[in-house]
Amino acid sequence: MLHSLFLLLGALSLLTLVIGQDQSGFISIDCGLPENFSYTEKNTGINYISDANFIDSGVSKTLSPEDRITHQQQFSYLRSFPNGVRNCYKINMTSGVDYLIRASFLYGNYDGLNKLPQFELHVGPNVWETVKFTNSSISVNYEIIYSSSQDHIHLCLANTGTGTPFISVIELRTLPNDTYSISIQSVGSLARVLRLDLGSITNLTYRYKDDPYDRLWEPYSNKEWTQLSTSLNTDDLNNTVSMPPVIVMSTAATPRNSSASLDFKWDANTITDRIYFYLHFNEIQKLKANETRSFNITLNGKPIDGPFVPKYRSTQTSYTPSPHSGFKTYRLSFLRTEFSTLPPIINALRNSKR
């Protein structure tokens, strides 16, 4: 079955986009920051507050000076939990509204032990993720889209006997309820797996203010691909708020070998993960009368969409309404069709699991 969402600009979404530019749906918590302190981070313009009103336990710590100067300010402090198996934040939220919740961690040898801990992050009674590090100076973050039936949420750090839990940053952002093709309320939550800017020519991660909902769009490329880019503005894109931001859609990946397929793969944690993915396309090249770009999309060899023809300066999303599961590795292939004169492209991809 074919499922493509054609997104058109409406006055309403423009309005939301403008409203979305302020931080009204944001709760940005710098864990460990002394009580009553707040500041505006200078790169992102995001206003962070102390976590003191959200938790009673744990101790405030600071990163090593080397790590402090090489990271944004919200990582300077953290809250560490040497006591207790589970320590929980209680954060107010509006029931029935979809939230993006992001928890970020930077170890930065804050305890002087030079030993990377591992622990669990829980949402209420449910395990959200196991927090793992590969490098003391590299931050990790986890995101879920969550809709609560209550007016608050408990975010907990659980000690699993493999080091002292800590947390650096908690960020909540309200999302429009059409960001995903399924009702978050009915499934409870969706965890982010990847959210990628596939044609990136800057190698930068984009977030607020490029994305009014402060989603992180990470650059990704590989040696088989090359990039196409143009300069688009919001009107060109016929964008809606749930789409990737203009800066992300202004670039696309395409295979270097123009007769080869464009391939992308990722590994699932377990074969029982139920994966939803959204593929975002925008034809950023003005095609000549005798040119066509058309491709089929397969998942692990099985057709899922196509022939797909990206629209000029308009964002389209391809997705399947039901989740995929049963694989350890997911391989998406974009195959140039017989009549296409141009190779496939893709601008952005996001996938989530349940």
Binding stretches for ligand NAG (CB under 6 A): 8-9, 35-36, 53-54, 92, 135, 137-138, 177, 183, 203, 238, 257, 259-260, 288, 290, 296, 303, 306-307, 311, 314, 335, 337-338, 341
**Residue with Cβ nearer ligand NAG (85 or 235):** 235
311-346 burial, b if ≥16 CB within 10 A, otherwise e? eebbbbbbbbeebbeeeeebebbbbbeeebebbbbb
**Residue with Cβ nearer ligand NAG (105 or 159):** 105
- Cβ 295 vs Cβ 247: under 8 Å: no
Neighbours of 45 (CB within 10 A): 10
**Residue with Cβ nearer ligand NAG (84 or 303):** 303
- Cβ 172 vs Cβ 27: under 8 Å: yes
What DSSP element (H or E) covers 343? none
Minimum CB distance to ligand NAG, residue 180 (Å)? 8
Residue 162's nearest CA partner among 133, 193, 139, 135 is: 133
Minimum CB distance to ligand NAG, residue 238 (Å)? 4
**Residue with Cβ nearer ligand NAG (1 or 161):** 1
Minimum CB distance to ligand NAG, residue 288 (Å)? 5
Minimum CB distance to ligand NAG, residue 278 (Å)? 15
Minimum CB distance to ligand NAG, residue 70 (Å)? 8
**Residue with Cβ nearer ligand NAG (24 or 259):** 259
Task: Supply angle C-alpha 143, 148, 149, rounded to 5.
Answer: 170
Minimum CB distance to ligand NAG, residue 272 (Å)? 25
Half-sphere exposure of 35 (CA within 13 A, CB side): 6
Residue located via tokens 């800066």: 247
Residue 98's nearest CA partner among 156, 149, 46 is: 149
Minimum CB distance to ligand NAG, residue 137 (Å)? 4
Backbone angles phi, psi at 17, to 5 degrees: -60, -40
- Cβ 349 vs Cβ 280: under 8 Å: yes
**Residue with Cβ nearer ligand NAG (18 or 127):** 18
**Residue with Cβ nearer ligand NAG (163 or 307):** 307
